[in-house]
Amino acid sequence: MQLYLPIADLPVNVFLVLVMGAAVGFVSGMFGIGGGFLMTPLLIFIGITPAVAVASVASHIAASSFSGALSYWRRRAIDPALASVLLCGGVTGTALGVWTFTQLRALGQLDLMIALSYVVLLTTVGSLMFSEGLRALMRTRRGALPPRRTHNWIHGLPLKMRFKRSKIYLSVIPVVVVGIVIGFIGAIMGIGGGFILVPIMIYLLRVPTSTVIGTSMVLTLVTMLFATMLHAVTNHLVDAVLALILMVGGVTGAQFGARAGQKIRGEQLRLLLGLLILSVGVRFAIELVIQPSDLFTIRELGVSG
């Protein structure tokens, strides 16, 4: 069944987009991430322009994150205070990211920047997460104890605040900075940033894993809603029809993914997530090298049309 997308300016198979939304929603709920790092490239690969894909996927990420965050909220696995501080930076970073997105589009460099950002970010983060997850899995099989966590320079910063739900005493400075970075990246690349935020919160900020995923999803939910609004108002690139189809599939898949994620050990989740991120980055690099004209020329015509 073909459906015409008015902003993307091309017809798509409704069932294909629904399945894509459900699959990415499943991944989102399972790993506690927004899923945009997977959805945006998938849309680009089926012919959606990078600019429209980034702007429209933000709403899908928000819907999937809402579904997942609601599940974690019911289990009291969200730290409201930590989420509030993260959002102070996240909203600022999102606004800055949308402004940068608009400037790059005006200069005609947006598509190339999105593609290169995906290749560099996903291959780097995916490699690091895969290697760390593999080491953790090997330690578990040998029965070795995990390395002892020690406080770093971040815990010596001023303006400290006690986050009762997470049971940590931490400066708000690095928390706000992390929020700004995640919001900025999300607005430009159409990703929730959870696959970056979760490792940072665990390994740098020492936030307990019991509250990391739920708190991460709250930040993703709010920043992606804000990004959708800004993209719709300033760039007029949000395809409402595409976003609606993705949201229906995403909300459904996220519920099943959250249940599946509870049955898999933490080190296995990190290993699988790292492998998934790395594979998407490599796939994007191959597309960029082999068929650069297909990746940009056709898309640019779609934007101008």
Alpha-carbon torsion angle 201, 273, 278, 78, nearest 10: -30
Q: What is the pLDDT of residue 76?
A: 80
Neighbouring C-alpha atoms within 13 Å toward the C-beta of 230:
26
Question: Residues 222-226: what's their mean pLDDT?
Answer: 87
Output the pLDDT for position 74.
81
pLDDT > 50? residue 80: yes
Cα separations (Å) of 10 from 57, 84, 116? 16, 40, 25
Mean pLDDT of 103-121: 80
Specify the range with the lowest mean pLDDT, choosing from 172-176, 221-225, 233-237, 299-303: 299-303
pTM of the full structure: 0.74
Please state which of the ranges 162-176, 197-211, 284-298 shows the lowest mean pLDDT: 284-298
**And the tokens for 13?**
């198979």
Q: What is the pLDDT of residue 91?
A: 92
What per-residue string of b and e applies to 168-195 under the rule 16 or more CB within 10 Å gives b? bebbbebbbebbbbbbbbbbbbbbbbbb
Percent of the chain with pLDDT over 70: 80
* Confidence band for 269, pLDDT divided at 50, 70 and 90: low
| 299 phi and psi angles, rounded to 5 deg | -65, -40
pLDDT at 225: 87
* Res 93: pLDDT: 93
Token output for 55: 């702007």
Give pLDDT, residue 94: 92
At 305, the pLDDT band (50, 70, 90 cuts) reads very low
Helix axes 292-304, 266-290, angle to 10 degrees: 80
Which range scores top for mean pLDDT: 10-24, 33-47, 88-102, 274-288? 88-102
pLDDT of residue 299: 42
pLDDT band at 177 (very low <50, low <70, confident <90, very high): very high
Q: What is the pLDDT of residue 301?
A: 38
pLDDT at 84 over 60: yes
Reply yes or no on whether the pLDDT at 247 is more than 60. Answer: yes
Q: How much is the mean pLDDT over the chain?
A: 77
pLDDT score recorded for residue 287? 67
Is 149 a residue whose pLDDT tops 60?
A: no
* Residue among 143, 192, 166 at smallest CA distance from 36: 192
Does residue 231 register a pLDDT over 50?
Answer: yes
